[in-house]
Amino acid sequence: MLTQEIIIARRQAQPLGEAEIGQFVRGIVDGSVGEGQIAAFCMATCLNPMDVTERVALTRAMATSGITLDWSDQSLDGPVLDKHSTGGVGDKVSLMLAPIVAACGGFVPMLSGRGLGHTGGTLDKMDSIPGYVSQPPLDKIRKVVKEQGCAIIGATKDLAPADRTMYAVRDVTGTVESLDLITASILSKKMAAGLDGLVMDVKFGSGAFMQDYGDARALAESIVGVANGGGLPCTALMTDMDQVLGRTAGNAIEVREAIEFLRNENIDQRLYDVTIELSAELLLLGKLADTIEDARAKCVENLKNGRAAHFFERMVAALGGPSDIIDRFDKHMKLAPIEHAVYPDQGGVVQSINVRQIGYAVIELDGGRRLVTDKIDHGTGMAAMAAIGERVGRDAAPLCVIVGRDEVKIKRAEEIIKRAYTIAPPGEALSSDPIIRERITR
């Protein structure tokens, strides 16, 4: 079939078969399909959604558009598992989840991305560890996963290359929000990684990519349906992003919080809840536990006894970082020199937080990117972030403590943070909602 006929069929909402979709995706990679044709296909799909069969076919075609990882020759004695989050401010769950699951017997090739916009990127956090190679070649990834149990790394150009080209076109043609294309983009890289199980952390709320709960839930159902339809066991958790996840936002500062978590120190309850639950879901998917209760208990045990911290340290050392990162993280990851406490104009209780604005405050400190080409300052960010229901003010706690290098940028970040927080009168009792709203299964 001619490429333009495939586009016309999509425009007219006529169902496409696996052969036609596969032909189009192969054309993206070999150059026989041009950018204009990709843009037309994406816009047609945005206006006329695919059915589940087409979504599965598109995802499979994109997953096999390059190299796919095959672990069968590695003689692994456990399942290959991974987690994906739709992104959020302060989301450092991957840093604890990968070693927890590895300590429980799983093997985790944690394919992660960089931040753009208000959400931070896991690879940017790992790049704050001196010497750490976050994008090693495929043979190194396979070696580290086999020998150390986990590797938090970025996808190479050989994995799902069709997605990279298609996403670049979507980004400039107003078709990023297509549920079909989002699903295929996320899952193609995961399927290419040769996983035995995937858990999705789909976020909703002010700091999420999809703020509306209904939209986020539709995405979760699409991903779970397509993943299972494509042969990848998958579940999803709907998690609240109306607060910063944990007590820090930035890069090195979030890695430090993650290491303290693995050391069983200064653990934020919401961060703990979502990390343990996502980890437990992976153990269940990988048949490393018989029930969700057993899975939770196994995760908690391997966190408390220090095995998870040991796996994290081994992974960091194997990928070029310090061999003593757990005990000497404060030496290896220096923060910016200026600390500035931010207080509300009137004291009271935190009623709500515009989390998206908190992400923009990190960018103001050069801790995030406005453009893909921007250079990140890994040492800046915020600590001691106040949560909903907590008392703040000059006679109580600050909204947060900014860590920065430039007084002018710190002042601008302070103004953004103060506007992001809504403060109720001191006597008003407030509590936050549970972080996990719902579990989506096949």
Catalytic positions are 82-85, 122, 170, 185, 189-190
Kindly give, in sequence order, each residue whose CB lies less than 8 Å from that of residue 189, ignoring residues fewer than 6 positions away: 63, 111, 155, 159, 160, 163
b/e map 355-370, b = 16+ CB within 10 Å: bbbbbbbbbbbbbbbe
DSSP 373: T
Return the bridge partners of 203, or none. Answer: 239
Kindly give, in sequence order, each residue whose CB lies less than 8 Å from that of residue 155, ignoring residues fewer than 6 positions away: 111, 113, 189, 192, 193
As a whole number of angstroms, the distance between CA 397 and CA 377 comes to: 27
Encoded tokens for 26:
């192969």
Chain centroid to CA 246: 14
CB 430 within 8 A of CB 388: yes
As a whole number of angstroms, the distance between CA 332 and CA 373 comes to: 26
Encoded tokens for 165:
């080209």
As a whole number of angstroms, the distance between CA 277 and CA 282 comes to: 9
Transcribe 24-81 into DSSP letters: HHHHHHHT-S-HHHHHHHHHHHHHS---HHHHHHHHHHHHTSS-----GGGT-SS-BE
Nearest to 243 by CA among 7, 101, 431: 431
Return the bridge partners of 421, or none. Answer: 353
